[in-house]
Amino acid sequence: MAHVIDSKIESFLKVSQQSDFPIQNIPFGVVKWINGEESCATRIGDVVINLSILEENGIFSDCNLKKNTFDGDSLNKFLSQTKQVWRSVRSTLSNIYDKKNIDFQYKTNIRSQCESNFSDVKMILPVSIGDYTDFYSSKEHATNVGSMFRDPKNALLANWSHIPVGYHGRSSTIFVSGKQVNRPNGQKKSPNDELPNFGPSKKIDFELEMAFVTGNGPNNGDPISVENSEDFIFGLTLLNDWSARDIQQWEYVPLGPFLSKNFASCISPWIITLDALEPFRSNRPSQDKPKPLPYLQQSPLNANFNIKLEVGIKPQGSEETIVSKSNFKHMYWSINQQLAHHSINGCIIRAGDLMGSGTISGPNKGSYGSMLEITWNGTEPIKLSNGTTRSFIEDNDLVIMRGYSENKELRIGFGECESKLLPSKTWKKK
Ligand code: CA
């Protein structure tokens, strides 16, 4: 496949073996540079490359790129162009940074302007997110939650195996990695309380998710098919969908989560394209019982991606403890099925929409993607390496998510998605 960058090529930029960002990755993000300007960027090893400067210098002149695609503070203009353009830019970048390309290597004038060290720049939110949808597509997660809150014998609701269940979230409070989040105040009522009470949530949780970022779907609202869905999927990020379980439990009937979910979500700064992940395709669980309706049917062969995921908790002043190791390959509904379902009714998909997978839990306890499941709603606290225990996330804990794919020749990663929980703000009646 011409759009997959040869795993053998090497860049003249130094890339360590454990780096998430070899020349085969070519992720896309938005950077605030030392001079305060913001523009789109990619990264090879620890070198961040200013795409706006490359564009000004005519490097993408054969890519059919719209003028000034990369000089803004989001990737949306790039996302709104076609998959052919996305691919053409990636292949141009891998070509000029290939160590065989002596030509660009010695263009020191351009290189000195466009290259910076990663530690000297600040990553900002890569996409101006229009709409945020969150699915609920891990069978293990849905089963665990259903067992805890309803009935272990009927953990999955009747619709779950027929519909990629999802809800419309809120995009205004999605942040890039590095964001500090205040513990939300809200209304809670445990089953034993007679009346609800108000105050800081006592059950703050992470949700280990991935999310895909879209291009423009058909503007007349025609459905996107499973088969064509990847023409409209730009790439993936890590997503920590912060959740307040006590608020959630009281508010979610009958319309689903509301304030328990929209106080903060956090994504990793680099969007990793599906082409970069192509060598890591993986089979999806089979869907025979029941078989989905025709518009959702898809062969399980290579319908998922093998992306290793982990979550660490780092209390203030202490070392990090890994509390979960999961994998994106466990998803029951693929991203293709999610997008086909989302658009089957005429819903318009726009460049820069973000669609979360839902919490990604694996089959055993060490692979659960939330503290709700890891500690079974707080009944089985876990021990951290500093000797303290956790049922949920405590104030000043840093939650770190990582994801990467690897085989013998290649490692493609997402970097980190980290977010610290701060104490709640004081609320007073005015
Ligand atoms: Ca979620």
pLDDT digits (tens, 9 = 90+) for 160-172: 999 999 999 999 9
Phi-psi region of 214 (alpha: psi -120 to 50; beta: other; left: phi over 0): beta
pLDDT level of residue 184 (50, 70, 90 thresholds) = very high
CA of 243 to the centre of ligand 1 (A): 8
CA of 255 to the centre of ligand 1 (A): 15
Amino acid at position 380, single letter: E
- The reported pLDDT for the residue numbered 274 is 98
The residues, ordered by sequence, that sit 6+ positions from 261 with a Cβ below 8 Å of its Cβ are 134, 169, 241, 242, 243, 244, 248
CA of 58 to the centre of ligand 1 (A): 42
Here the tokens at position 417 are 């998605």
- The reported pLDDT for the residue numbered 209 is 98
Percent of the chain with pLDDT over 70: 100
CA of 373 to the centre of ligand 1 (A): 13
Domain-by-domain residue ranges, the chain?
29-124, 132-422
Q: Which residue has the tokens 């009346």?
A: 195
Whether residue 336 contacts residue 305, with contact meaning beta carbons closer than 8 Å, is answered with: no
What integer is the mean pLDDT of 307-332?
98
CA of 207 to the centre of ligand 1 (A): 6
How far apart are the C-alpha atoms of 53 and 57, rounded to whole Å?
6
Please list the active-site residues. Answer: 141
Amino acid at position 152, single letter: P
What integer is the mean pLDDT of 350-363?
98
| pLDDT over 90 at 3, yes or no | no
| pLDDT tens digits, one per residue of 85-100 | 999 999 999 999 999 9
Whether residue 307 contacts residue 329, with contact meaning beta carbons closer than 8 Å, is answered with: yes
Residue spans of alpha helices (H) in 119-202: 139-149
Q: Which long-range contacts (CB under 8 A, 24 or more apart) does 64-69 make?
A: 64/88, 65/89, 69/40
pLDDT level of residue 1 (50, 70, 90 thresholds) = low
Percent of the chain with pLDDT over 90: 96
| pLDDT over 80 at 78, yes or no | yes
How far apart are the C-alpha atoms of 311 and 381, rounded to whole Å?
16
Classify residue 51 by burial, with Cβ atoms within 10 Å: 0-12, 13-18, 19+: buried
| pLDDT over 80 at 2, yes or no | no
CA of 348 to the centre of ligand 1 (A): 22
Residue 190 or residue 387, greater confidence = 387
Instruction: Say which DSSP state 271 is in.
Output: B
Q: Is 382 helix (H, G, I), strand (E, B) or coil?
A: strand
What integer is the mean pLDDT of 371-396?
97
- The reported pLDDT for the residue numbered 4 is 87
User: Domain 29-124 class?
Assistant: mainly beta
How far apart are the C-alpha atoms of 369 and 363, rounded to whole Å?
11
User: Domain 132-422 class?
Assistant: alpha beta
pLDDT level of residue 254 (50, 70, 90 thresholds) = very high
Summary mean pLDDT of the chain: 97
pLDDT level of residue 20 (50, 70, 90 thresholds) = very high
Whether residue 165 contacts residue 135, with contact meaning beta carbons closer than 8 Å, is answered with: yes
How far apart are the C-alpha atoms of 274 and 280, rounded to whole Å?
10
How far apart are the C-alpha atoms of 206 and 250, rounded to whole Å?
18
Cα torsion through 56, 61, 65, 69, rounded to 10: -10
| pLDDT over 90 at 195, yes or no | yes
What integer is the mean pLDDT of 347-364?
98
- The reported pLDDT for the residue numbered 191 is 86
What integer is the mean pLDDT of 207-233?
97
What integer is the mean pLDDT of 24-41?
98
Phi, psi of 412 (to 5 degrees): -120, 120
Whether residue 398 contacts residue 314, with contact meaning beta carbons closer than 8 Å, is answered with: yes
- The reported pLDDT for the residue numbered 415 is 98
| pLDDT tens digits, one per residue of 104-157 | 999 999 999 999 999 999 999 999 999 999 999 999 999 999 999 888 999 999
